[in-house]
Structure 1
């Protein structure tokens, strides 16, 4: 009977020979699912006699074999993009990629500025990055020119990637949709970031009248305002110098695999394109989304001189497969003001200021901020916070920042000299705002250079605030794991009796392998549990718990 099933499956898979996962995902091969449905019917027909048999393992084995046999016929895929020659191209690192025992394919490498030092002295260094699309796991071969290789690490370390070193060549496997940093001999600045993007699910064409299409090559656009209903497509292999504004618009999509930069691109014979003009009423940020609805940003890489994305008074915004590098002052990653229903998923950001900041009122943005979801984020703050919530608000009309969910986040680094701005996860209520109902789950924090793990304060920072915050309440930290020795003492502190912090739960907090909870072994009875976590719990704080949940 199993042979009959496999014979019928083998007939059907002749139909799907040559179908790639990219076609399936993009919907270009809708009949694939009809085939799967037909297979399920045939398998059930063959398995009917087995219902009279008490051994259910035969049915399971038949179904499993058929499904595995079918899926193995679906071809994996790699898509690479040729870089246009410019000052952004890195010629010292060579990268090749392949799947299985297939042929190696070259992948071009780019450079980006990062902040090596940002205090009285400002030191900018060149990091490197490369990108390609793939379905399934791939093997990377990286040829470096950094002298004798003594140590190689690939982060996030939770991925468990084990590199193999052969002279000045490093080889390793990477799963689809993983964004990683390859670092040699502890050098975190002249490192290589690798972005294994998923295959694009829907790619617009030049012929679409509603699409602004930037194909491979260099484009200089100045500042461009995108109207409602438009799609901006930045193809892989494209470099677009300029910035975008989405203002009082709806149903706008920015997507692709290419690069947006605010830095001058130097190349032979590149002429500026026509633009919609320069608008001094807008800040000089890279992508501004304000007073807009139903906005999607997917797949692009940004090299900004201001914020990577500034979002204000907007709703129903999706940001996915997004990457950014910055090195200048106040060059935050994604800053959200007075917005609702924002989803951020699968991002890698290395910034010279806060990577993600969630605020209330500032400038001309008014209203509460709510329903923010961050998932699968890799954050690297060379300056300031990886994640900040609070600070800005409206003293005269207090804001509420609520229903914020962060999960599956990795902090690769946090480096901040000023104590007021430390905290891998910082909740700083100011300007009479209230932060409530926020959760942080499955968070990995690596050995940060300088800063705190947690900074929860109801504060009055006279540099930015006109009043203290109102409070912080109902906060959950679940499955936060830190491995390192350099973190400073964390802080949880209210402001006064009416502006306090309450109901903060740490569930399965792990520091250097030790699970921190109220009845943990080795804790002296006269110690606070927070002492074991190196967290200072100050006044006007109530309901802090450290729990263990299996």
Structure 2
């Protein structure tokens, strides 16, 4: 028996990278020690503890556990193997119960140069003396303590008194202090799981078609010993052997209160077609593997998530509609008083899967997003649902001064090369056909309220709203009392919100009742071909409704240009209204194309900035006559937009050198005083093609710019606008 215990300890040491000297000592009171207002639970002797911090709470020493977390925003679609350890690091966490204010002292093993306690909205000001950090806590709450930056952070879970159960009562599965390895546990109706303080349960809890289930207690549920064996493309796998810490299918009357969920192989806590769910005071930590979502409520209703902490390496608090239950409506979902640290994807999200007839009455309220990789508040509508009555209220986003850009890993040996200065989005509302869409039809979005939301930090996060077409649109968005670094914004431009096509009735309110409709900022028109905009086409395997072949809408050159201009106050385009038009027909029929007729709506839009991005579909100009005709047609096109206005015009070259077409594009730009951007050299670098970034079956799609190429195009256009460069 002693030999088997030693093997277990050595295995944990090897997996977590902890030295044996950091292991906990045998506790005298395994049930927890209470002194006055604080209860501390000793750790199991076999459990590795942190070497980075020691902590006392109201004078009591509290064990500091370890968890593996992501060290960088570097991710890929499930490749059939788990994420390598060298992309991770060890962080620390501690928990206790409290009933009254307490003093906390943290001793850091590293010299202390700076300390940040998040959420910063809590206003906790530490006292630092040498390597000792002291502060006061009035109430139970969840915090992240960052010493010298966010790496190797300390997470604090100060809990209200834990609920208790009779260990011997019928239907109770009781896990007392110590290490347990039950593996996968399938729960039946009317069962209660209790994970006591000081317990670490290696395994997971699953249930299907069960009612009146409870999972309670302040201890730890760790799923690190479970293997993942499938990707997320086969939704039938979602319902069987899923492998997260807690996985529920078609269950009702579920209560989850208190436990710490650590290191799942993919989604941490998921519920599919469930109802009457109450989730409170749970803490999700150590989510570093591929698709390590936090809490996913899929095709469920009447669910409440309160006072929880989620640090996840994928979407954090999520409402989804999956095709397996595509006829089940989703309604009455509330996330409230949660703390979110998002290291990939979205923090608060509906989507991207929205296969449901209706998604309504979803509220995210009073939540702190201490970090997000991509988007803080997101409705990414990829399927047919009628989404309506969604509220984001009192959401507080913190943007780090040094924020590294998320990056897709292309190949097993690829290394992370992301740079600091990344600006995540604050709010995104978008209807699209994306990689996770399963419905043929798009849906709608109505009555979205963003109230009393704020962001702090040196890097202003942009926001973007966009519909799909005239039928599948976004209508009715109210933004009220939005604050940026404490200042209430009074216009879309000031808020950095770009309003795209098929969006209407967007209003922004200040406390004095002022209201600004969309389109008060300047207008931008993009005329291009498939590189600018290409709708879904199953015959070539293209599912996007954006510039081909970016991996996502926000990564095509058009949206990168919009984002860059919105971050340049001097550009005057900080809240642009923009339109996009694919004019490949003009390229193919430039000699006979009826410009005034076909482009009348675009001309009447009267853009302040016109970006003309064409040429690839123009047949090679082999005669002087064809060259002259192409020049004449370009001249007519550009001057049509100068008749009743004076727009800034940007004309780009072909993506790839064209000795016959590029000189004419350049001359046509010069003739009307436009800026010319030469991007022809980009095609000479294989890394700029989509085929270099991901497998694409269709050669035509693969030969379009990928994310890197799109960024290079956008950078060239923005640079020309900055410099006012003319041919």
Name the TM-score class by shorter chain: 0.7 to 0.9
Provide structure 2 residue ranges, at least 5 long, that are not aligned to the other structure: 1-34, 77-82, 227-237, 404-421, 513-727
1:111 aligns with 2:74: no
Match for residue 173 of structure 2 among 198, 212, 230: 212
Give the distance between the partners of 1:364 and 1:315, measured in 2 at CA: 13
| Contact 1:492–1:541 under 8 Å retained in 2 | yes
- Post-superposition offset of 1:364: 5.3
1:89 counterpart residue number: 49
* 1:141 aligned counterpart, secondary structure: strand
Q: Where does residue 522 of structure 1 map in the other structure?
A: none
Q: Does 1:505 align with 2:514?
A: no
Structure with the higher fraction of residues in strand conformation: 1
1:199 equivalent in structure 2: 161
Corresponding residue number in structure 2 for 1:145: 109
CA distance in structure 2 between the partners assigned to 1:235 and 1:284 by the alignment: 22
Write the distance in 2 (CA, Å) between the matches of 1:94 and 1:146. 11
Equivalence for 1:404: 362
Point out the more displaced range, 443-452 or 245-254: 443-452
1:302 and 2:261 equivalent? yes
- 1:263-310 CA-to-partner distances (Å, cap 9, x unmatched) read 249xxxxxxxxxxxxx99321222111101100000000012221111
Deviation at 1:392, TM superposition (A): 1.5
| TM-score of the aligned structures, taking structure 2 as reference length | 0.58
Give 1 or 2: higher helix fraction: 2
SS in 2 for 1:158: helix
Deviation, structure 1 residue 468? 5.2
Any idea what SS the aligned residue of 2:338 has?
A: strand
Q: How far does residue 463 in structure 1 lie from its aligned partner after superposition?
A: 4.6
| Residues 47-67 of structure 1, C-alpha deviations (whole Å, 9 max, x = no match) | xxxxxxxxxxxxxxxxxxxxx
1:288 aligns with 2:247: yes
Among candidates 518, 532, 537, match of residue 494 of structure 2 = 532
Contact 1:312 1:365 in 2 (8 A): no
Match of 1:222, SS state, is: strand
Structure 2 CA distance for partners of 1:264 and 1:430, relative to 1, 3 Å:
closer
* Partner residue, 1:127: 91
Q: Return the index of the structure with the highest Cα Rg.
A: 2
The residue number in structure 1 matching 2:382 is 430
Distance across 1 between alignment mates of 2:475 and 2:251? 34
Query: Residue 442 of structure 2: which of 445, 469, 480 is its match?
Result: 469
Counterpart contact for 1:471–1:500, Cα < 8 Å: yes
SS at structure 2 position matched to 1:229? coil
1:433 Cα deviation (Å)?
A: 1.5
CA distance in 1, matches of 2:195, 2:326: 29
Residue 485 (structure 1) shift: 2.9
Q: 1:280 to 1:294 in 2, by over 3 A?
A: closer
Structure 1: state its 5+ residue gaps. Answer: 1-74, 99-103, 266-278, 416-421, 518-528
CA root-mean-square deviation: 1.9
How far off its partner does 1:436 sit?
A: 0.7
Q: In the aligned structure 2, how far is the partner of 1:260 from the partner of 1:237? A: 11
Of the candidates 274, 277, 286, which is equivalent to residue 314 of structure 1? 274
Cα distance between partner residues in 2 of 1:478 and 1:236: 38
Equivalents in 2 of 1:289, 1:342: separation in Å? Answer: 13
Deviates more, 1:123-132 or 1:385-394: 385-394
Work out the number of aligned pairs and report it: 435
Quote the Cα distance in structure 2 between the aligned partners of 1:179 and 1:352: 18
